């Protein structure tokens, strides 16, 4: 029997719900292939922009908030990209490119080719200044 977390369809790690840095690091450690260093970098950038950021894993995805229970962004692994969900993304300037069925939510799909770290950091700064989404 393996101690490795199960990978769900698309390669997203199945990690038990939990609060704090430990479950988020477990999710990152279990993320396969090129997405693991990407997830580690995203986590690092979020921590740099929002010192003391609250973290949790819910629904097999890392969540980040200014206070526990009020989240401004989450990550989710898919086969060919990592999806970043900005819960109040419609209020960001410029808006992240991916639309959602939920009017306030915007997405950024990051593929192996990389992403604009400066723009990502700016979105994180803006998102952290908005009221978090309670979940």
What pLDDT is recorded for position 6? Answer: 83
Domain membership flag for residue 113: yes
Please report which confidence band the pLDDT of residue 8 belongs to, taking 50, 70 and 90 as the band edges. confident
Cα-Cα-Cα-Cα dihedral sign, residues 37, 56, 68, 94: positive
Cβ atoms of 32 and 19 closer than 8 Å:
no
What CATH number is given to the structural domain containing 84?
3.90.1150
Average pLDDT, the chain: 94
Q: 66-93 burial, b for 16+ CB within 10 Å, e for fewer?
A: beeeebbbbbbbeeebbbbbbbbbeebe
Domain membership flag for residue 135: no
What pLDDT is recorded for position 3? Answer: 62
- What is the rounded CA–CA span in Å between residue 95 and residue 16? 31
Tokens of 113: 């080719």
pTM above 0.75, yes or no: yes
Domain membership flag for residue 58: yes
Give the chain's domain count.
Answer: 1
Condensed to tens digits (0 to 9), the pLDDT of residues 48-80 reads: 999 999 999 999 999 999 988 999 999 999 999
CB-based contacts of 76: which residues, under 8 Å, 6+ apart?
A: 12, 60, 61, 82, 83, 85
CB-based contacts of 89: which residues, under 8 Å, 6+ apart?
A: 95, 96, 100, 104, 105, 106, 107, 123, 127
The domain in which residue 112 lies consists of 9-130
| pLDDT higher than threshold 60 for residue 2 | no
């Amino acid at each position: 029997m393996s101690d490795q977390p199960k990978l769900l369809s698309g390669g997203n790690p199945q990690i038990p719900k939990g609060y704090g840095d430990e479950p988020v690091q477990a999710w990152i450690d279990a993320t396969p292939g090129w997405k693991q260093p990407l997830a580690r970098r995203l986590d690092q950038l979020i921590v740099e922009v929002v010192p003391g950021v609250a973290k949790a894993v819910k629904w097999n995805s890392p969540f980040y908030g200014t206070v526990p229970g009020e989240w401004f962004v989450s990550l989710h692994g898919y086969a060919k990209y990592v999806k970043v969900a900005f819960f109040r993304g419609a209020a960001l300037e410029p808006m992240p490119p991916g639309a959602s069925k939920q009017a306030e939510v915007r997405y950024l799909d990051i593929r192996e080719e990389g992403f604009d770290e400066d723009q990502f950091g700016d979105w994180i700064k803006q998102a952290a200044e908005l009221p978090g989404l309670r979940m």
